Structure formats: structure tokens, C-alpha cells
Amino acid sequence: MWSYMQDRRIARQVRRDLEKFDTERRKQQDEKNERIWVLADDDDPLNPLNWSLLSRTKNIAILSLLIFTQAWAGAAESVANSDASQEFGVSKVAENLSTAMYLFGISSGSLFVGTISETVGRNPTYLGATFCYLFFVLGSALSKSFGGFIVCRYLVGLFGSATLAINGSSVQDMFRPVKRAFVFPVIAWANVAAPAIAPIAGGWVTTTPSLGWRWTEWITLIISAFAFLVALLFLPETYLPILLDWKARHLRQATGCSRYVSHHASSQSFIQRVKTKLVMPATFFTTEPVIAVLGGYLILLYALLFSFLSGFDYVFKNTYDLSTGLEGSCFGAIAAGATAFTFLAPGLYSWARYRTAFVRGSDVLPEFRLWPAMLAGPLLPASLFWLGWTNFPGVNIWSGLSACFVFGVCLIAIYVSTYEYIIDSYKDHAAIALASITMVRYFVAGGIAMAARPMYEGIGVHWTMTLWGCVAVLLAPAPVAFFGGGGRDCGRGANLRSGRRKDER
């Protein structure tokens, strides 16, 4: 709806511009047998970077709502594992497939949604995929068999990937580097806090006799439908090449001249783009050290976050004899840590403004983005060792909750640093680089979600957290190494320096 109004405004602006355009000059142009390229300059009001701050803030709020509700879906019924497994007649480990298949679905979709959004636009991708996503959330709520439930969960993740995989590209569409220091923590909060907040609601819903575990799916459907309606009515298109396509179309209609074209419309077809880009995420992850190492950091964080959906049964519920509702509430400590870091966003923005001497539109050195990760790097293993080796009934539960709070801070700090560093380093190739990380991150997290319960049962909380802590220790120096300049060349690998994509030439 908002995109339709946006299209109409572009048509009216084209007509006004044509009325001001010198008729004789236009006639001379039309006599030349060549294409007329439709472009946007730095100050063009069509460019989302030049929209009013209020408009862009509204768009980020709507996008954050979409992200939050679809990230919520991954963890909403996690604490209902026991009730759901009893109803379907499967083990608790088998029931963990519901989370794993959702994560596998996001991993699968991440291969395609970037290309789709660059072909038809961000808005149709978000809205079309979310519309399908709603039907499969409904299917999850109504499924009578375990097989049907698992298939629906996979498709919920597959269609949710459109929102969860390309939201960073939408931020890049609308905000210059300095302002991204303020905006990205907000988007990151929606991505990482939702899986921590959903179990809080899910825990209490499950323990309410009049509701039951299926209401975790119904609540997901209600909030997701609300977010979809808000986006349908108020979310505009933000991908500039698509907006230039619209402008070129209106110019052709208004002038009767078919030679007005945009570079995007003249570039590769969707099938050609898919063939070109399908192998690129895997190539990036295997050939670019920045992607491999920082992507590995995000893999660790997401593996931990989704393993906690089962692990908190052992960390808190069994140790302190908690109810399902109280167990879910323990996830509030992670959400609180993520929220605390988000409140630092104005400070990060002010720091970025200072580093760029308050010059409008200045670029920020990619290495500047690594500061939160450098500070959080040593805290992450500390929080994991703390959580593991204070996990005794005789130790106050607030000790473990405090460790989870620190983990929440580290989770979002490293997430923000990684995404912003890659966007600033890879520029036009950032969407592909991020897609490669998203694909692997969710795939591994899905595998860990399946292995989490046997791991906690097999080696116990203490050694499980020690194992994760040791991996975190190995990764802790990575941001410092890239800050020192090691990532600057790797982040612009030789394969990126040597040429540009065909549709950019």
C-alpha cells in the first residue's frame, strides 16, 4: 500500500520535472538514437539516504517489528518441549527438531532472498514472504501429527529468512555510515532479543491450564499478523535501483519515449543472477578470512543462544527446581543484557560523529566498528565459565543470571561489530558476504539445537559450558587482529578488487 503511494508520488514528480524541462532540448535528445539512463545524484530526494529522519525512523521501527516477530517464532515453543513431545508421542530430543528445522529453513532461504530482493525490491520480498510465513505458523498451531508440525516449522523458517537475512541491507539503503552506528544496534536488538524474550512468554503460557503449548504458536501468529499489516500499510521500498526502475517507467509513459531506462532493468535477469550468486556465499566463507573468522564468532553465539533453549532445563530448571514459567523467565537475563548494550547506541553514534570530524556523509573506517567486539571478546568466555562453574544448588541463582546478562551484552556487541565491519569493508558486496554468514550460522545453530540436550545430559552443565568457553577464548583475539590491519586487505579480497559484477559495469 505504501509502495503504491510511493510509486504515485514518483509519477507526479516526473510530470512536474518534465514540465520544467526545456521542450526544445528534450526534442534534440529524442532525435539521438541512444538510451537515456535514469540516474540519481547525491542529493536526489528519490534516494532513501536523503529521506527525512522521521520517515527513515518510521521505516526502521516497522522493520524492527517484522524482525522481532519472526525471530520470536524460532523460540516461542521451545520451553514447551515436554508438553509437545508428550502430545506427539516423541522424545524431547526429537521435539528439538521443531527449533532445528526452523533454523535450517532460514539457512536455506538465505541463499536466495538477497538475489530476490535485488530483483523485485526489498518491500515485495518482505511482504510476500511474510504472507506465506503466516500460513505456516497457522499450520504449526493446527498440526495434528509430528511430521506435519516439523514440515510447517521448516517452512516458517524458510519464509522468515526474507526478513531475517536481508534486514542489514535495508539499513544500508537508508543510512550513511555514521548514522548506522545508532541504527544498527536497534536492528540487532530485534534479531537477538526476540529469541530470548519469546521463552519468557512461552513458559507462562505453557503452564496456564486454560491455554497449553499450542498457544505459543497462536500468539506468534497474532503478533506476526499485526506486524505484517503494519508493514503492508506503511513500509516503503528502499532499494534505490528499483526506485530508479519506477522513475524510468513513468518517464517512458509520460513522454512516449521508450529509451528511458535504468541500469538495474538492463542488468542480468533473475535466473542469471541466481546462477551467478548461488555459489558466492560458499566462496566467500571459504576464501575470505574476515568472513570465516567473524562468521565463526556469530556461529558460536547463535549456537549458544539456541542451545540454551534446551540447556536451561539443566542450567536452571533442574539445578534450582524451577517451574516451566520460571525457567522461561531466566531468559530475561539475556534479553536484559542485549537491551543494556542497545542503550549505548547514542554514545556509539556520537563517537562515530567525532571520529569523522562531524562532516556529513563521511565514511567510517571499518576497523572503528570493531571496538564493541574487542571489549566483549574477553567477557564472552568469562561469562560462559562463570555460568558453568557456579551452577550448583548451593550457589544463588542470581550468579547464573548475572552471567547470562553478560552473555547478552556480548551477544549483541559482537553481532553489531561483525555486521557493521563487513558492510563497511565489502560495500556493494556486503549483501553476499552477510548472506554467507547467515546461511552457515543458522545451519550450524540448527545442528547444535539437536545436539544440545544429549550434550548437557552426557557431560553435564560444567563441562558443556567449559567447552563453549574454550572455543570463545580461541576467537577472542580475532577482532583485535583485524583492528590492527590484518582484516583491511582481506576484507577487500583480490577477487573483489579485480573486477565488479557485470551488472555494475
pLDDT tens-digit series, residues 31-87: 555 678 888 887 888 999 999 999 999 999 999 999 999 999 988 887 777 778 888
Q: At what angle do helices 177-206 and 345-355 cross, to 10 degrees?
A: 170
pLDDT digits (tens, 9 = 90+) for 177-217: 888 888 989 999 999 999 999 988 888 888 887 788 889 89
CA dist 247 and 245 (Å) reads: 5
Query: What's the pLDDT tens digit per position in 351-392?
Result: 877 777 666 767 778 888 888 999 999 999 999 999 999 999
Average pLDDT value for residue range 492-499 = 39
Q: Can you tell me the distance from the alpha carbon of 295 to that of 298, in angstroms, rounded to the nearest whole number?
A: 5
pLDDT of residue 155: 95
- What digits encode the pLDDT tens for the residues 245-259? 988 888 888 888 878
| More confident call, 273 vs 370 | 370
Question: Average pLDDT for residues 114-123, to the nearest whole number?
Answer: 85
Q: What's the pLDDT at 124?
A: 92
Q: What is the DSSP letter of 391?
A: -
pLDDT at 270 over 80: no
Domain count, the chain: 1
Residue 212's pLDDT is what?
80
For range 155-163, the mean pLDDT: 93
Tell me what the mean pLDDT of segment 456-460 comes to.
89
Q: Is the pLDDT of residue 29 over 90?
A: no
CA-wise closest residue to 436 among 301, 277, 306: 277
Give the C-alpha distances (Å, rounded to integers) separating 419 from 337, 414, 426, 467.
19, 9, 11, 26
pLDDT at 489: 46
43 inside domain: no
Domain annotation covers residue 328: yes
Q: According to the model, what pLDDT value does residue 22 have?
A: 54
Question: Which CATH number fits the domain that encloses residue 318?
Answer: 1.20.1250.20
How many percent of the chain have pLDDT more than 90? Answer: 36
∠ at Cα 287 (448, 274), nearest 5°? 80
- Torsional sign, CA 77, 80, 82, 85: negative
Residue 34 forms part of a structural domain: no
Can you tell me the mean pLDDT for 315-328?
Answer: 87
Q: Which domain holds residue 97?
A: 48-238+279-482
- In tens, the pLDDT along 428-449 reads 677 777 777 888 889 998 888 8
Residue pair 46/244 in contact by the 8 Å Cβ criterion: yes
Q: Is 343 helix (H, G, I), strand (E, B) or coil?
A: coil
Of 381, 436, 413, 331, whose CA–CA distance to 76 is shortest? 331
- On the question of pLDDT at 491 being above 50, the answer is no
- Residue 407: name the closest of 301, 295, 480 by CA: 301
Could you tell me if residue 313 is inside a domain? yes
What pLDDT is recorded for position 56?
A: 94
Assess if residue 83 is contained within a domain: yes
pLDDT surpassing 90 at residue 13: no
Q: Residue 358: what pLDDT?
A: 66
- The per-residue pLDDT for 499 is 37
Residue 488's pLDDT band (cuts 50, 70, 90): very low
pLDDT score, position 436: 77
Question: Could you tell me if residue 41 is inside a domain?
Answer: no
Confidence at 28, pLDDT banded by 50, 70, 90: low
Close Cβ partners of 114 (under 8 Å, ≥ 6 residues apart): 165, 166, 169, 277, 431, 432, 434, 435
Say whether pLDDT at 476 is over 50.
yes
Q: Which residues pair with 37 in a beta bridge?
A: 261
Identify whether 334 is part of a domain: yes
Position 271 in a domain: no
Can you tell me the mean pLDDT for 266-282?
70
Task: Name the residue among 442, 437, 379 with its Cα closest to residue 412.
Answer: 379
- Nearest-5° Cα angle at 344, 342 to 350: 130
Q: Is the pLDDT of residue 168 over 80?
A: yes
